[in-house]
Structure 1
Amino acid sequence: MTNTTDGTTEGTTNARAGKTTGGTNRRALLRGAGIAALAAPAFIGKGMAQGSVRWRVQSHWPKASSSFTASLGVLADEVSKRTDGAFKLELFGAGEFAKGPGIYDLVRKGVVAMGTISPSYIQDDAQAASFLYGIPGTLRESWEMQHIVKNLGIEALVNEDLTKQGVQILAEKVLPTELTVTKKIENVDDFRGLKLRSSGTMLDYLAKAGAAPQYIPGSELYQALSSGTVDGAHWGAAVGAKSMSLWEVCKYHVKPPLAQTTDAFILNMNELEKLDDAMRVALLDAIETRFYARSVEYVHAEAIALSQGIAENGLEVITLPQDVLDLLAKASIEILDTEAQKGDRAEQAADIYKGLMRDLGYA
């Protein structure tokens, strides 16, 4: 097993306990990093004496997206505050250097030091990436996804692959994925053939249930809906739909959630290692602590956004009929089993999911 300088542990994950064997747990290191950040103002001073550090950060969120400000913008402010202005994050909206799946390679090659992505973009780069994104139809509450990602080892399993490529991924928040559509869904025939913008395992999930999903970058989504290229989309859930003005076109918001999913930060490990100790600690600890705060904020924000959509946009909240839910439940089992076949780490991730679902009475 190899421990990288940023605290990422490469090793075998204990699926039920969320531990690593034969080395140090990365979360323990990050907890220690948080203590060090509180106790080491002298190190911050040294970083300032050496001159400012500026990282370019390419986001998959358009600047219109709420997460560009409330997630990425808040993190940038926090890192600057923790380093007394010595460490600045320069933020770029979707498409300024790259968009969607192209952001991973941009960070991996060091063109920018950091990015934000959906883990669904890196399914070919890490066996367990789909499990970090979230398997549709499995977990139902935000806390369940937070627990499985950080405490039970899903994030660590993904990093076992990514650190070999010089990249580290850290979950940014948990958020629900919900459809917003232009056409009311009252039965399975209404759902079949529905053209839906999607990504990652959700593409297969929706296709297996009879819809016609396709991937469209966020920067092109409003136009695709306006022109009728697609009949609906998921961009997060209510918060995402509101911030992207999707409810101007889509008058139906669909419950229940398709999945609990995550957004994520990706970091170039060479650039991370170049930081002095205090700056590295400030960044990693801010990301880790912000994950929990932002995930809880998002639950609150979802309720507010949906109420505003009903009042301001004439939005109608609809529930998928049982015959559609039955198709989705069958598709969920197929997706989980298919993803588990990608390799040893994917199989471990599937076991973690199944174990938690048994504990929760879902399986």
Structure 2
Amino acid sequence: MKTNRKHMLAMAATFAAAGTMIPQGVSAQETINVTVLSGYTDRTAWIKNLKDFWMPEVNARLAETGNYKLNYTEAFGTVVKPRGEFEGVQRGIGQVGLVVTAFHTDKVPLSSVSYVTPFVSVDLGVTSRINDELTFSIPEMREGWEKFNLEFLGHMGAIKSYNVLSTDPIDNLDDFEGIKVSGAGLNLRWLEGLGATGVPTALPNFYQEVSSGVSDALVGWADVVGAFKLCEAAPHFLSADMGAVSNFALVANKPWFEGLPEEVQNAIREVTPLYGDRLAEVTTAGDAKGRQACVDQGGTIHELSADLRQEWADTLPNIAQEWAQAAEGNGLPGTQVLKAYMDLMREADQPIARHWDRN
């Protein structure tokens, strides 16, 4: 039997059209493109968990209804350098980014309260959750981000506790006299009164600066020792329990975020604190691994006594109240933020060596 060619083409067109039809009552899934950026690569715990947990978990929430899906472009260690995340998201180079708050104290100073309150807590989860509670309850803290075109999503941290790694052993506080110490900026104030000179820099530069003699030591944390081989350059690890900090904020480009369907906004907001909790757990587990990595790299762990930790805390000028007063001078509720932070820490029964809002 012969089949008319025109008839076959017509049938094919009909079937093709039918294949693209969506049954009544079923909606097409909308794909939303989003570039997630950081100056750091997934060698770091914070980016690895952003990539392996936050990104797929948001889509898992969205998959429950099937209405939306985020199509991610990973821009880790590529389109911006460390410190460039703030401006990258602000300008829309990326829609979501992980910002190191210590690098932007001139723009969002109130987010740095954990950086001016050392020797208060070594519980990273508690520290980050308290900072979040403050940000969502004190309008000025959120508004600090919004005026730069950024939607604040949540605080999190990858530093269980700052410690000091040095080329020569530090056995007592007098050993800080005259040495140069690399650090991220605000944490260098934790050395005031000890006679050390701070060298502001970023984590990727620590190894080179210490090994080349630019610095004699660095303020670092155990979880990154393995990845960055810090104990090869600074083999003496002073375990000082200087304190945890919520050093990151996950932010979104505000116009982009406001243009998202409410369901997508809610999924992002729901997953962000879970990412913070997960990062705290991973970092805490990584602390022990990092100390072992230091030993494996030829380093030695030195424990600072509780008496010397207390003496260190007492020796410092009241950097927290100075910070609060500076914020007040700029029309920001620094004193309110400091008191609320310390009140919440006291409620959480943290091992506070100094009550910064009191003395």
Letter paired with 1:213? G
- Are residue 87 (structure 1) and residue 70 (structure 2) matched? yes
Could you say if the C-alpha distance between residues 197 and 307 of structure 1 is closer, same or farther in structure 2, counting changes exceeding 3 Å? same
Q: Deviations over 1:257-286 (max 9, x none)?
A: 222111221211111112222222222211
Pairing partner for 2:311 from 326, 331, 336 = 326
Pairing partner for 1:138 from 120, 130, 155 = 120
Could you tell me which residue of structure 1 aligns to residue 83 of structure 2?
Answer: 101
Greater shift, 321-330 or 139-148, is seen at 321-330
* 8 Å CA contact retained: 2:45, 2:283: no
* 8 Å CA contact retained: 2:151, 2:254: yes
Could you tell me which residue of structure 1 aligns to residue 143 of structure 2?
Answer: 160
Could you say if the C-alpha distance between residues 257 and 334 of structure 1 is closer, same or farther in structure 2, counting changes exceeding 3 Å? same
- Are residue 250 (structure 1) and residue 234 (structure 2) matched? yes
Could you say if the C-alpha distance between residues 226 and 88 of structure 1 is closer, same or farther in structure 2, counting changes exceeding 3 Å? farther
SS in 1 for 2:251: strand
- Are residue 287 (structure 1) and residue 267 (structure 2) matched? no
- Are residue 64 (structure 1) and residue 43 (structure 2) matched? yes
* 8 Å CA contact retained: 1:201, 1:335: no
SS in 2 for 1:204: helix
How many residues are treated as equivalent by the alignment? 312
Could you say if the C-alpha distance between residues 199 and 309 of structure 1 is closer, same or farther in structure 2, counting changes exceeding 3 Å? closer
Could you say if the C-alpha distance between residues 189 and 334 of structure 1 is closer, same or farther in structure 2, counting changes exceeding 3 Å? same
d(CA) in 1 for partners of 2:203 and 2:136?
24
Could you say if the C-alpha distance between residues 248 and 161 of structure 1 is closer, same or farther in structure 2, counting changes exceeding 3 Å? same
Pairing partner for 1:260 from 244, 256, 259 = 244
How does 1:9-20 map onto structure 2 within 5 Å?
Answer: none
1:147 Cα offset (Å): 4.2
* 8 Å CA contact retained: 1:60, 1:117: no
* 8 Å CA contact retained: 2:182, 2:218: yes
Letter paired with 1:251? P
1:340 Cα offset (Å): 0.9
Letter paired with 1:88? N
- Are residue 128 (structure 1) and residue 128 (structure 2) matched? no
1:72 Cα offset (Å): 3.9
Could you say if the C-alpha distance between residues 232 and 62 of structure 1 is closer, same or farther in structure 2, counting changes exceeding 3 Å? farther
d(CA) in 2 for partners of 1:247 and 1:327?
24
Q: Deviations over 1:106-144 (max 9, x none)?
A: 211222212112211221112412215462223343344
SS in 2 for 1:228: coil
Greater shift, 178-187 or 321-330, is seen at 321-330
* 8 Å CA contact retained: 1:56, 1:91: yes
Query: What TM-score do you get using the length of structure 2 for normalisation?
Result: 0.77
Could you tell me which residue of structure 2 aligns to residue 78 of structure 1?
Answer: 57
- Are residue 228 (structure 1) and residue 249 (structure 2) matched? no
How does 1:170-185 map onto structure 2 within 5 Å?
Answer: 170-173=154-157, 175-176=159-160, 177-185=162-170
> Considering only CA atoms, is the larger Rg found in Structure 1 or Structure 2?
2
Letter paired with 1:163? E
Could you say if the C-alpha distance between residues 272 and 147 of structure 1 is closer, same or farther in structure 2, counting changes exceeding 3 Å? closer
Could you tell me which residue of structure 2 aligns to residue 353 of structure 1?
Answer: 341
d(CA) in 1 for partners of 2:170 and 2:188?
18
- Are residue 314 (structure 1) and residue 295 (structure 2) matched? no
d(CA) in 2 for partners of 1:80 and 1:231?
46
* 8 Å CA contact retained: 1:130, 1:339: no
Could you tell me which residue of structure 1 aligns to residue 32 of structure 2?
Answer: 53
d(CA) in 1 for partners of 2:117 and 2:285?
23
In structure 2, runs of 5+ residues without a counterpart are 1-25
Greater shift, 212-221 or 132-141, is seen at 132-141
* 8 Å CA contact retained: 1:61, 1:218: no
Letter paired with 2:44? S
Could you say if the C-alpha distance between residues 60 and 357 of structure 1 is closer, same or farther in structure 2, counting changes exceeding 3 Å? same
Letter paired with 1:159? R
Query: What TM-score do you get using the length of structure 1 for normalisation?
Result: 0.76
1:335 Cα offset (Å): 0.8
Q: Deviations over 1:188-211 (max 9, x none)?
A: 332123222212421222244322
Pairing partner for 1:213 from 198, 213, 218 = 198
d(CA) in 1 for partners of 2:204 and 2:102?
17
Pairing partner for 1:278 from 263, 270, 295 = 263
